[in-house]
Structure 1
């Protein structure tokens, strides 16, 4: 350290005595600028005095001055803990640089901040370099979608297996999570395979190119999702659906068509035309008219498509058919069935 410090102890004392003239905000800003600048060469005594003055004034100055001070303190590692804590819990305009950059915030402190504050503080914390699993678990558990997206885009953050699974599950409904998740090198292959089921074609190609996933495994993953009822299967009894899916599996397409004709009262010519595979929406209407569950409709469609299932799935046609089936009103489907009974399809 040089013999003559740019900021003397006496100078700090004179500044402190000028509070009534210069105002508290002016004093705090002047001290922060002079003493906390990276070029300032302070003795230990001068630094202690600097922090003591800031500690006394920080809760009495306007937001602009507090942010000014926070910017200076964010990169330091020698700030009193209570001063860091005060700024980290301040309004986000003040707290932001501390939350993003201060190395003095421990994992426990960060978790407490996540639990105590809302989206703005959580978003800032999600930007920090090298976040630990303890902190990212807390951010994921907070349940905010924007925070989750920001976290997943932070490729230096370490995310536990449990949190990664939770994020992958949320990505089915939250499209903004899908691309950044598939671009994480720490995304397990089994979770990438799960995401393959619901992401768009571009991301499916990315998954195939960047993860060790074979076509037969992808097909198995899609089939498994269908058997699980895609995203929202329920426990409602589906007598017709169970019977007809079983008929198709055990008796082939002709056995299924005969069983469908018996259930609906449609003649075989109409049934053959419905299931000639030219319109998946028509099949959706037919199944909805006899109260198929979405799970059974997906299973039936998968079996009817056979070797073309992967092609339809990759093109998004299978998913669109499921969505159409889900949106379709049962009353409208039953009305269509009645028309098919009385006239040509």
Structure 2
């Protein structure tokens, strides 16, 4: 009886069959092509009849030696053949997994030979493309997921967040949500993640755009005003220890006292965005105006112009430029309107729901709006 081995030495070649008795002839040959054919012939034979015992170790050494001598197209074909193999030599799989990404991808994606320790080494030593493939592996263990989260590489984190079968702990999901504040690409996959909880959804809700807010709101029944108020009050409470010693000051002297307080706090480094939120919470609109002008480097007149505008857009940009979280702005503007006879108006789009903006961009947008409204050149 003659045993034949299926061969596919190159991706662009036609398949051929080879009698197993000719393997010895190929082994004796010094031809590069013959060595490539021998490598793939042995691989195909082992896939059909997995080796065991002593012969397994011998074949492993032979395959590893041959794989180090062949061209990339053959290594790629070898990786595809061994991706689902249970018998493949560990050293050979590691070699292929650390090869260039087109060769490594099949084993990185599917090989059960790769254990957690191997995958962690790849995360530490290989390219970002290799790391992404590791993060996409089905049923990725919690240990490897934790390593990915600890390294905090944006592209790998995004791949992990998109992997619905990865074993990510509750703390791991929490850390991914925290990372999503600076990594926008994480937000969409986290919105759909099966391990996202109500609490984490409310946190994520603070810095996503309108479309993702709608998706989170539909899934977790979250309302804008509830989240905005929660963020707003949390910020206020975190800076409640800063003194506002104005209760005993006469109205005529209050404005001057507020200016001095703002100047003192700014000089000591205590004047922060959260202080302004507290000022509004304590119904001290003028203190808010003085503080916003001082922090942003604006004139009091510019800030008051934003307060009296037909839309809250200019005020939103001014607040964003000094670090007031956009998730708190909705609640903030509602209290400001109560203190300021309904102004600024609510005409136009709610800019703070569109997405994050840098402080520098917000400052430029604010100045452009208030100076444009005043008829000045930008």
TM-score (norm 1): 0.72
SS at structure 2 position matched to 1:79: coil
Partner of 2:23 in structure 1?
12
- Kept in 2, the 8 Å contact 1:96–1:121? The answer is yes
49 and 327 in structure 1: CA distance in 2 versus 1, 3 angstrom threshold? closer
Partner of 1:93 in structure 2?
102
- Kept in 2, the 8 Å contact 1:99–1:128? The answer is yes
325 and 155 in structure 1: CA distance in 2 versus 1, 3 angstrom threshold? closer
Measured in 1, the distance between the counterparts of 2:185 and 2:355 equals 23
- Kept in 1, the 8 Å contact 2:80–2:107? The answer is yes
Query: Is residue 2:270 matched to residue 1:237?
Result: yes
- The one-character-per-residue Cα deviations of 1:194-220 (angstroms, maximum 9, x if unpaired) are 011111122112112212546674244
| Aligned match for 1:113, one of 122, 125, 131 | 122
Query: Is residue 2:155 matched to residue 1:146?
Result: yes
Measured in 2, the distance between the counterparts of 1:150 and 1:304 equals 42
- Kept in 2, the 8 Å contact 1:192–1:207? The answer is yes
Partner of 2:281 in structure 1?
249
287 and 160 in structure 1: CA distance in 2 versus 1, 3 angstrom threshold? closer
Partner of 2:336 in structure 1?
304
Measured in 1, the distance between the counterparts of 2:315 and 2:84 equals 63
Partner of 1:171 in structure 2?
180
Q: Which structure 2 residue ranges, 5 or more long, are not aligned? A: 6-18, 240-265, 294-300
- The one-character-per-residue Cα deviations of 1:20-51 (angstroms, maximum 9, x if unpaired) are 4854223323433x4145xx346658766654
Measured in 1, the distance between the counterparts of 2:155 and 2:356 equals 28
Deviation at 1:58, TM superposition (A): 1.0
24 and 75 in structure 1: CA distance in 2 versus 1, 3 angstrom threshold? same
Measured in 2, the distance between the counterparts of 1:245 and 1:175 equals 26
- Kept in 1, the 8 Å contact 2:232–2:277? The answer is no
Partner of 1:327 in structure 2?
361
Residues 65-74 or 202-211, more deviating: 202-211
RMSD of aligned alpha carbons:
4.5
- Kept in 1, the 8 Å contact 2:27–2:35? The answer is no
326 and 222 in structure 1: CA distance in 2 versus 1, 3 angstrom threshold? farther
Q: Which structure 1 residue ranges, 5 or more long, are not aligned? A: none
Measured in 1, the distance between the counterparts of 2:88 and 2:195 equals 35
103 and 42 in structure 1: CA distance in 2 versus 1, 3 angstrom threshold? closer
Q: How many residues align?
A: 314
